[in-house]
Structure 1
């Protein structure tokens, strides 16, 4: 995804807490991160900003991606994780896809949530 970020002139910053260990299905975790980052890139204006952070609080990993796109209207929040839902119908032809990414990410997270154990590596 680095090539797309560079091509769009997006500034990518990150804050990742060191020594976090997540005992989980690494392929599914990568899939969720990829979906969320791809979505952030798609909805960030050219020369925009994406901020990523990863921290741990007690035994919960907190992963945030924030972008400088126009945002999501309050009335769209309840529907944004539904498959096929697009907040801006005009983007259908522009970006293609079926708007399943966030729905897939939510399903993966829901399935992994009960089994994941997060902790900090002891030095």
Structure 2
């Protein structure tokens, strides 16, 4: 889909620039920043301190996912449509990881319980 020369612009965006939107989406539906952080930690294996450092350092999305300590193997259970695309059909690995996170935040905002969102 995208060659190395034409990477999707989200890859170079800082994770910190999108993070407040995740939190706002959750809080608008009476969910919390702590739940957003829990989802991110579950998905990536980052500790809370590591997550906060990445946000402070304005780490880009590509690096954020490439350097994740332990991507959760259960993330392959995440199914459904985000931005009109089935997450399980996305071939490009980094975009798939971004969409997994988007889908989990959507589920949080739609009122799913954390145990269902975290799929453990």
TM-score by length of 1: 0.26
TM-score by length of 2: 0.27
Relative to its length, the structure with more helix (as a share) is 2
Structure with bigger gyration radius? 1
